[in-house]
Amino acid sequence: MASMSGDGATCKSEATVVTDHFPVGLRVLVVDDDVVCLRIVEQMLRRCKYSVTTCTQATVALNLLRERRGTFDIVLSDVHMPDMDGFKLLELVGLEMDLPVIMMSGDGRTNLVMRGVQHGACDYLIKPIRDEELKNIWQHVVRKRYNSSKEHECSGSLVDNDRHKRGSDDTECASSVIEDADGVLKPHKKKRDAKEEDDTEIENDDPGTTKKPRVVWSVELHQQFVSAVNQLGIDKAVPKRILELMNVPGLTRENVASHLQKFRLYLKRLSEVVQQQGGLPSTFCGPIEQNPKLGSLGRFDIQALAASGQIPPETLTALHAELLGGSTSNLVLPAVEQQNLLLASLQQAKCIPVDQVVAYGQPLMKCPPSISNSKHLSQAIMSAEDVHSGFGSWRAKNICMVPSSNPTWLAAPNSNMLMAMMQQQQQWQKQQHRQSGPSESNHSINVQPSCLVLPSQSPVLSPQSNNSSGVVQVLDRELKPECGLNRLSSAGSLSPSCSINADNSVSLQLHNSSTAFGASRQLPGLIPNHLDLPVPYKSNSSQVLHQGRMTNPGVGKVTRIVVSPGKVLSSP
Amino acid sequence: MLGLGVERLRADMNRLLALLFHQGVLDEQYLQLQQLQDESSPNFVSEVVNIYFQESEKLLRNLRFLLMDREFSDYKKMGVHLNQFIGSSSSIGAKRVRNVCVAFRVASEQNNRLGCLRALELLEHEYCYLKNKLHELFQFRATDRAAKTASSCSQVPSSALKQSALSAAKQKRKEMR
């Protein structure tokens, strides 16, 4: 297999540096429960000189992706799978790992393809898949990287910073390209972003000396903001009053106002998304199930609650506040020191970059199509559950990047937030545990403000029920058959009808559709011959074909075609 | 003399292949499979096709099991099986089988049990036919390969080998009829 050589696109330069061998070595993960297709696609991909990993189960694939972050460039997934709906997998991968996902299916009906698009698929291939189609999948990888880096440039803070970053990180990129073991281009890119954001933070958090006009909302700042809003009530929260409550020197009313606006939008999206997607709690019960190590499930619960569609904005705010602002007292470190600490730890964290945030609620957010912003917003709330045990655990599963297109709100504070989260995590959880009393597992949490109690999520629920509903959904939609029995009179359709014909033999009458059967000389039907119809065996093809077509007088355009295939076979 | 034998073998094989294409049993996807076979995976086609047989027989059994049940109502499950069958059949180029599956699926979507039963029978027939023909094809190929390897050895025994291979093939063909 060709050695891994990514492209240099992740180096955040305007022009993508592409190595000579690209896209050789593109790392593809293929997921399909059908082993035949899997094997064929695998072989085709190998022929394209890609590096292929195959999986028959979606859950296994997800684990693979989570455990080995950055070892795959693109995912190909079947739509119909027994353990998890392909679309769910698609969402999860897109949200957690931000990898391009291509769907495959034997069913190319428009509604399914539409669903694929809506769930964020880069492409939708219809089986049988040809190798020409697979040759070009690398474009999705490159495209995604281009788009992300464009986002970064727009959101990007300070030119000087950028340049500096680029300079130092290009070398990182180069080395990462060459390396195979750590060859994780994306994480490096993200690491760089994190640093960049930290740098801006460092400079901006010092209000007095800041030369930059933009205020970056750090974790503490945001917490203060949220608790202020909470105090005032989301409806009554006026920037002026919030400002007063927050009592942060150097913060202007305008800053608060814009931040408030964003916050409101975020809450609105949360509830919107929730309404749009029913049954979502199960979505991230999936992740829960797969990552039992995760301690606190504050995020899950919030999202679950949100998903239940019963959370008014105030509650959300309150929850948000709880989440973030539980104990500001915890963060006694002055902002700058905290940044340094964070940076230091960042540099230590090898594989997994810092600002990867758990995004359990993201499936929630991602479902509506145009949701790039809310994704980030939701990520702010979500923090790495497993961070609570320390930086070491940052390598753990459920962290993913925040490709921030919304820097002021989230991207910047992200890394800080992680730190804060980490510390608050335990705090909050302890609180919750105390409050929830007899709750046996982390799954159940009492939420004070609205007294919504989240029952402990049984992990068994989600994939199964989700899957079945997913399947049901899919199948329900398939009820609009391309070749409908309803359209008996249309010659172009293929439909079976069963009838006992005059011969007293059972036959399947098939409308002959040239599209379905190819050339008109092909013989699509076969009358089971275990009855009284004698069928001569002809080894000569021409004779077989010219058995001719008999029209059944009873039914208009039905064409019954007798085929003598060479042998009379009895049913097994 | 030897050359003629091999030639005839190949001609027969090609004729069979042409027949299958003509009948619509196979389509271009099968050719793609053949192209995927190379030195690194010399048995790719037969490997894939064998997997296909195994999976298909499982599916057929499941389908039959479902339909035979008097209280059968789980059309969705049947749809799931059929989807897989459609996918794998189209992937190896089994066109007729695939088409019957599609028809089958339509019947199941309409909860048409009788239609499903008929479709199942048809499907089983098509599948058996396909399987037999593909086996024939593989035998041709195996014989061909045996002949090739035989010819790479010394002359005298190879001729004997080839002859026996040829006659074995002929025998098999007769049996198939």
Tens digit of each residue's pLDDT (9 = 90 or more) over A35-45: 999 999 999 99
A7: contact with B, CB 8 A cutoff:
no
Q: Tokens 């809003």 correspond to what residue?
A: A229
For residue B145, pLDDT over 80 is answered with no
Q: What angle do CA A387, A389, A391 make, to 5 degrees?
A: 60
A387, A393 in Cβ contact below 8 A?
yes
In chain A, the percentage of residues whose pLDDT exceeds 90 is: 7
Report CB contact under 8 Å: A481, B109: yes
Is the pLDDT at B154 greater than 50? The verdict is no
B47-60 per-position pLDDT tens digit: 999 999 999 999 99
- Testing the interface with B: which of A33, A34, A538 to mutate, by most B Cβ within 10 A? A34
Given A130, A483, A484, which is nearest B32 (Cβ)? A130
Structure-block tokens of residue B73 = 């109502």
pLDDT of the residue at A241: 85
Residue of chain A nearest B43, judged by CA positions: A43
pLDDT band for A401, please (50, 70, 90 cuts): very low
User: What is the separation of C-alpha B176 from the centre of its chain, rounded to a whole number of angstroms?
Assistant: 14
CA distance A526 to A278: 45
pLDDT (0 to 100) of residue B169: 54
Q: How far is B81 from chain A (nearest CA, A)?
A: 10
Q: What is the DSSP string of A194-241?
A: HHHHHHHHHHHSSTTT---SPPP--HHHHHHHHHHHHHH-TTT--HHH
Answer whether residue A70 shows pLDDT above 60: yes
CA dist., res. A442 & res. A292, Å (int): 10
The predicted-structure confidence for A87-96, as pLDDT tens digits, reads as follows 888 888 887 8
Which chain B residue is nearest to residue A563, measuring alpha carbons? B23
| Residues B10-16: contacts with CB under 8 Å, at least 24 apart | B10/B140, B10/B144, B12/B140, B12/B169, B12/B173, B13/B137, B13/B140, B13/B141, B13/B144, B16/B133, B16/B136, B16/B137, B16/B140
Q: What is the pLDDT of residues A100-152, one digit of tens each?
A: 899 998 888 888 899 888 888 889 999 888 888 888 888 888 888 888 787 76
Contact A190, A151 (CB under 8 A): no
pTM greater than 0.90 (yes/no): no
pLDDT of residue A264: 82
Q: What is the ipTM of this complex?
A: 0.82
Q: What is the interface size between A and B, counted as CB pairs within 8 Å?
A: 174
What is the model's pLDDT at position B132? 94
Angle between helices B95-109 and B75-92 in degrees, nearest 10: 160
Between CA A338 and CA A327 the distance in angstroms is: 16
Buried b vs exposed e over A465-480: b needs ≥16 C-beta within 10 Å? ebbeebbeebbeebee
Please give the residue that has the higher pLDDT: either A505 or A263. Answer: A263
pLDDT over 90 at A339, yes or no: no
What average pLDDT does this structure show over A247-271?
A: 80
Burial of A226 (C-beta count, 10 Å sphere; 0-12/13-18/19+): buried
Least confident range from A69-78, A203-212, A462-471: namely: A462-471
- Asked whether residue A268 carries a pLDDT value surpassing 70, the answer given is yes
Instruction: Choose, out of B47, B125, B177, the residue to mutate when testing the contact with A (most A CBs < 10 Å).
Output: B125
Tell whether the model's pLDDT for residue A463 goes beyond 50. no
Q: With an 8 Å Cβ cutoff, is A40 touching chain B?
A: yes
pLDDT above 50 (res A160)? no
CB atoms within 10 A of CB A350: 12
Average pLDDT of chain A, as a whole number: 57
Please provide the size of chain A in residues.
Answer: 572
**A205/A218 Cα distance (integer angstroms):** 8
Query: Any idea which residue has 């330069």 for tokens?
Result: A13
Given CB atoms, is A130 within the 8 Å cutoff of chain B?
yes
Strand partners, A8: none
Is pLDDT above 90 for B119?
A: yes
The answer to whether residues A122 and A136 touch, using CB atoms and an 8 Å cutoff, is no
Sign, CA dihedral A146-A150-A152-A158, equals: positive
DSSP A421-447: HHHHHHHHHHHHHHHHTT--STT--B-
Q: How far apart are CA A339 and CA A245, in angstroms?
A: 25
Residue found under tokens 């073998």: B9
Question: Which of A385, A404, A406, A408 is closest to A222 using CA atoms?
Answer: A408
Cβ-contact B108, B82 below 8 angstroms: yes
User: How do residues A501-511 score in pLDDT, each as one tens digit?
Assistant: 334 443 334 34
Asked if the Cβ–Cβ distance from A35 to B51 is below 8 Å, we say yes
What's the whole-number mean pLDDT along residues B42-70?
91
Look at A105-114, A320-329, A361-370, B123-132 and tell me which has the smallest mean pLDDT.
Answer: A361-370
> B75 or B123, which is more confident?
B123
pLDDT in the model for residue A441:
41
Kindly report which listed range (A110-119, A359-368, B23-32, B98-107) carries the lowest average pLDDT score: A359-368
Sheet containing A27-31, strands listed edge to edge, beginning at the edge strand earlier in sequence: A51-55, A27-31, A74-78, A101-105, A123-126
Q: Residue A558's closest CA among A523, A509, A493, A522?
A: A509
Decide if B64 contacts B120 (C-beta within 8 A). Answer: yes
- Residue A479: which of B24, B109, B128 has the nearest Cβ? B109
Stretch A327-335: mean pLDDT: 42
In this predicted structure, the answer to whether residue B164 has a pLDDT above a threshold of 60 is no
Identify all chain B residues contacting A507, using CB atoms and an 8 Å cutoff.
118
CA distance A123 to chain B (A): 18
Tokens of A140: 């999705």
The string of pLDDT tens digits covering residues A297-316 is 444 444 444 444 444 555 55
**Nearest in space to A380 (alpha carbons), one of A496, A262, A489:** A262
Chain B contact for A562 (CB, 8 A cutoff):
no
* Cis-peptide into A128, omega within 30 deg: yes
Position B162 confidence tier, pLDDT thresholds 50, 70, 90: low
Q: What is the pLDDT of residues A483-536, one digit of tens each?
A: 333 443 343 333 343 333 334 443 334 343 434 343 334 444 444 444 444 444
> What is the bridge-based pairing of β-strands A123-126 and A101-105?
parallel
Those of residues 79-98 in A touching chain B at CB distance below 8 A are: 80, 82
Cα(A306)–Cα(B42) distance, integer angstroms: 55
pLDDT of residue B120: 93
- What's the rounded Cα separation, in Å, for the pair A228 and A251? 14
How large is the average pLDDT for residues A453-462? 42
Which tokens is A434 given? 């105390």
Alpha-carbon distance A557 to nearest alpha carbon in chain B (angstroms):
17
Contact assignment for A526 to B55 by CB distance below 8 Å: no
CA nearest to B6, candidates B135, B133, B151, B136? B151
The model's pLDDT over A15-66, given as tens digits with 9 standing for 90+, comes to 444 455 677 888 999 999 999 999 999 999 998 889 999 999 999 998 888 8
The string of pLDDT tens digits covering residues A538-566 is 444 444 334 444 444 444 444 444 444 44
Distance from CA of A536 to the nearest CA of B (A): 12
- Please indicate whether, in this complex, the C-beta atoms of B23 and A36 are within 8 angstroms of each other: no
A262 vs A412, higher pLDDT:
A262
Backbone angles phi, psi at A267, to 5 degrees: -65, -40
Residues of A in contact with B118 (CB under 8 A): 496, 498, 506-508
Residue A275 has pLDDT above 50, yes or no: yes
pLDDT at A415 over 90: no
SS (H, E, C) A257-285: HHHHHHHHHHHHHHHHHHHHCCCCHHHHH
Spell out which residues of chain A touch residue B47, defining contact as CB-CB under 8 Å: 39
Q: Which residue of A has its CA nearest to B126?
A: A526
Per-residue confidence at A158, pLDDT binned at 50, 70, 90?
very low
Q: Which of A221-235, A397-411, B61-75 comes out lowest in average pLDDT?
A: A397-411
Give pLDDT, residue A226.
83
